[in-house]
Every structure is written in C-alpha cells, then in structure tokens.
Structure 1
Amino acid sequence: MFFWRQEIYPGRWAAFSNAEAGNLALHVGDEPASVLRRRAQLESAMHVPAGSLRFMHQTHSADAVAVGSGDDRAAVVTADALISDDGSVPLAVMVADCVPVVLSARGGAGATAVVHAGRQGILDGIITNTVAELRRLGTEDLGAWIGPSICGGCYEVPADMRDDVAAVVPAAWATTRWGTPGLDLPAAVTSQLQQMGVQVHPVGDPAQLCTLDNESLFSHRRSAASGRFVGLVWNQ
C-alpha cells in the first residue's frame, strides 16, 4: 500500500502510497464507491478516524488553503496545497507525475501541509506561497519530504517551455536521457524550498522515484487513464 512511510517526528507520520493502494482520485473515471472504499482502507492503514483524511480539488493553481478539525469534512476545498495549522487534520495530495510535497514543523508539534507541484504551479508560486502561509501562521522551522514524480530524464518538453520555466527556476533545466529538452520538477521544488530555508529530507531509493519508470506508481504520461497515488501527513 505504501511506497514509503516513516515517522518523521515523534507522533507525526508522512507517507506516499503506491499502485497497490489503488486509484485514490474521484476525477479519473473510476467508480466513486470503489475510490471511497480505497480511501477508507487507507485511513485504516494510517490509524486515523474514518472520514478524517482531507483531499482537495487540484487545479494547478498557486492557492494554499488552511483546513481545521471543525470544518465540514464533506466540503471539497479547491486548492493545490492544504494546511493544518496544528497538524491535527490528516492531509492528502493526489499525483501521477507532478511533485507531491509534505511539509511539517520540525519536531512534530505545529503545522503541516501537502502540496501538488506541477509545472504551472511551480511557475506561479505554489511552493513559495505555501511556505509563506506556514510562516505567517508562526511556523518558522520547516522540514519537507518530496515524493515520487516524473524525473528530468523522462519529462520531455518543447525547448521554449524549458526556457520559460528555467528563467524562473534555473534548477528546472534538464535534458532527457535521449537528448531532448526536459524539465526537472523535483529539482525545481528542492531549489525553491532550500532558498526559503526549508530542510529537504530524502524519501526512499532515488532510483525508484521516477513515476514513469517505476510501474508500482501511477504515471499520467505512461497512461492517460492513470489513477492517482497520494502523499500524506498525519498525527498518530
């Protein structure tokens, strides 16, 4: 069920699911009842209350939204980052090539966040906006965990697109394994986080992190009908 799972601080956990957990998105043509059943199974594996895991409607925006334990759990927030100001709300971000990011106040007490960082979101500031909002809430010392996504050696783009993105985030510049223009989104996210003073922690085996290469993960580029796996952060 989990590609990677770890207690990142005492009582606080982060994880990234794999294809064994099944598709966890409601927007890719799957039977809603099947998706909701898988989400319930995931909550059980996380040891969090049924129905407590918060998902969002992701639109490749730069919007980071805070959710509270008293909010209506049935209400779907439109955003590309979710924040829990005290870490009490279990959070999920869905991906299938874009970069999933988990953020937490260091030490395990304080805020948490999950971020959906695709090319457009990175350009528009989803990473910087989320970190800025966490700091506005008083969380200065942050750790980050970047989950599986398509790598720079596989993410082929037109040359002018590479130029446009690299003009904003130079670390995004890449060349694919077959010599064409590419984008390294994980490197771009890492660069933005580090420039804001966030400590980035390793996740799993680097050789297994590319969603296109690793068939135990969903990849939209491998299949347009792909499901979505999730990045998670929660208290236990």
Structure 2
Amino acid sequence: MVFWWRNEVLPGVSVAFTDRDAGNLALHVGDNPGEVLDRRIRLDQAAGLGVGHFQYMDQVHGNTVEFIEVHGQGPTADAMVSRATSVHAAPQPLAVMVADCVPVILVGVDDGNQPIIAAAHAGRPGVASGVIPATVAEMRRRGAADIRAWLGPSICGSCYEVPAELRASVAAEVPAAWASTSWGTPALDLPAGVRSQLAAEDVAVEYSGECTLENDSLFSYRRDNRTGRFAGLVWTHD
C-alpha cells in the first residue's frame, strides 16, 4: 500500500497521505539519496502524474508561503500554493513531508470553478507563527473561495508531551493547542490548534488523520528520532 488515505475531493482533484509502505521520502534524514528519488518517482507513478512530479519543499518550521507556477528546485518554505496560470497549464502537484507535524492540504476554487491547491507543514513553530492563516490568505489572494482542508496523521495532544513553559508559550498564540498527555503532563494538541485556525478563517475540515506515535504504520519522530518522512499530497488530473 502506497497511500495511507486517498480520495478524489473534487472532480479532477485528489488528496492523499502516504505511509511506511511508500518509504522515506525525505532527503535530509541520512537516507540514500538515489533510493529516496526512486521512491518519489514511484509515488509520482502511483498518483498517475505521467511525466509530472510532486513539488517538495525545504521545510524550516516557519510561516513562509511560496506560489508555485512550474516544478523546480524546492523552495525554502513551509507552505506552497498553486493554480493554473494559463489555459494550457495546471496547478503543480504539491507535497509536504512530516513525521509528527500536521500535514495540511487545502483545496479551493476560483470564480471559474478552477482549483487552487495548497500544502502546508504545521509543526509547533509553524502553528504558533501562523503558517495556516498565511496559507489561506495566499490562496484567497490568488482567487480561491470555498476552501476546504484535509489534515493528515500527526501526533495527538494525548501523546505530545512538552515542558510547561513551552505549552504556555504556544497556547498564548493558539489557545486550542493547550493539552495534557494521557498520563497528566503538559502537552500540545497541534491538530486542535490547526483546526481552530482554520475555523477562524471559515475553512471547513473534511478529514483529520490519526496519531503517528500510536500507529506503527506511520513514521514518528517522537517514537524514533532517526526516522523517515511520509507525505501529504494534492494534485489535479483528468
């Protein structure tokens, strides 16, 4: 199984999340680069991209959002937005990599009912600094309306233990992220924080995945800090 979850969310627009069976998709975790690139190609093929490729990012736990017109070297950013820029073009297929952070896929349409898509990396610093509102704002600046969101698997609030000072700092920016672990210590609930930010932007959440730490079929940095990365994906097709 390459895809943990996959669905055609609009006619001609699909969203998916991979799992361990797709293998590690990151180039920065000490894996063999050739093998990583081979896995990415197999993923392109499994999604039916033909000669196309998913666009990846150099993710840095920030809130920079880049607009992607054509496939190229991955931008240093934590979110990407794409839409067709001409009659003969299509939005670029987008990918976000995680191993406990929240992979967020967003899809909207313009006034001609053409898709505008986005992928965002919502880790603790990104949630606190507003990468999700920034992504929604860029989509709307590009003409998107009726935006909806899909949240992939990520570590849950019952498992993501943090120091009390860190919980207080993040919750001061995103109150919904305040949580306690199942054993009673301070924690952060990043999916809840993301959902609250999306609700404030009037973006409906269509799917929210399960906990990465609790599921051995998914990569988890908290479970094993030498681990791979799975991906959240969005692409258009015939």
Task: Give the TM-score of the pair, scaled to structure 1.
Answer: 0.94
Query: In the alignment, which residue of structure 2 is the partner of 1:104?
Result: 107
**Does the CA contact (< 8 Å) of 1:106 and 1:143 recur in 2?**
no
> Where do 5+ consecutive residues of structure 1 fail to align?
none
Q: Which residue of 2 aligns with 1:38?
A: 39
CA distance in 1, matches of 2:181, 2:74: 37
Hey, what does 2:205 align to over in structure 1?
200
1:203–1:172 CA distance, 2 compared to 1 (3 A): closer
Matched residue, 1:82:
80
SS at match of 2:145: coil
Shift of 1:49: 2.8
Q: Aligned Cα RMSD in Å?
A: 1.4
Within 1, Cα distance between the matches of 2:184 and 2:114? 45
Alpha-carbon distance in 2 for matches of 1:115, 1:222: 23
When the two structures are aligned, how many residues end up with a matched partner? 229
1:216 partner amino acid: S
1:174 aligns with 2:182: no
SS at structure 2 position matched to 1:141:
strand
Measure, in 1, the Cα distance between the counterparts of 2:166 and 2:235.
Answer: 36
Indicate the SS of the match to 1:145: strand
Contact 2:109/2:143 (CA < 8 Å) preserved in 1? no
**Secondary structure of the structure 1 residue equivalent to 2:161:** coil
Shift of 1:51: 4.8
2:193 maps to which residue?
Answer: 188
Identical aligned residues as a percent? 53
Distance 2:6 2:154 in 1: 16
**1:95 aligned to 98, 103, 108, which one?**
98
TM-score (norm 2): 0.93
Can you give the 5+ residue segments of structure 2 that lack an aligned partner in the other structure?
85-89
The answer as to whether partners of 2:20 and 2:219 remain within 8 angstroms in 1 is yes
SS of match in other structure, 2:115:
coil
> Which segment is superposed worse, 26-35 or 133-142?
133-142
* Matching of residue 130 in structure 1 with residue 135 in structure 2: yes
- Match of 1:111, SS state, is strand
